[in-house]
Structure 1
C-alpha cells in the first residue's frame, strides 16, 4: 500500500519553496 502525505510548504511561491517542491517531485515523493 502506498502512503500519501499532505505537505504544506511555507513560502511555496518563493525560490526556496519552488526548489523544495522540485526536489520532492524528482525523488517521486508521494505528495497528495
Structure 2
C-alpha cells in the first residue's frame, strides 16, 4: 500500500470544532467513511 504524504490534511479538514456530536463522518483519500 502507498501511504499518502498529505494524510494529515484530510484528518485536519475532518476536525470540526463547532460540532459536539460524535456522529461526524469523514472520508479518507481512498473514499472510505471514517467515524469520528
TM exceeds 0.5?
no
Q: Give 1 or 2: higher strand fraction.
A: 2
Higher-RCO chain (CA-CA 8 Å, sequence separation at least 6): 1
Q: Give 1 or 2: higher helix fraction.
A: 1
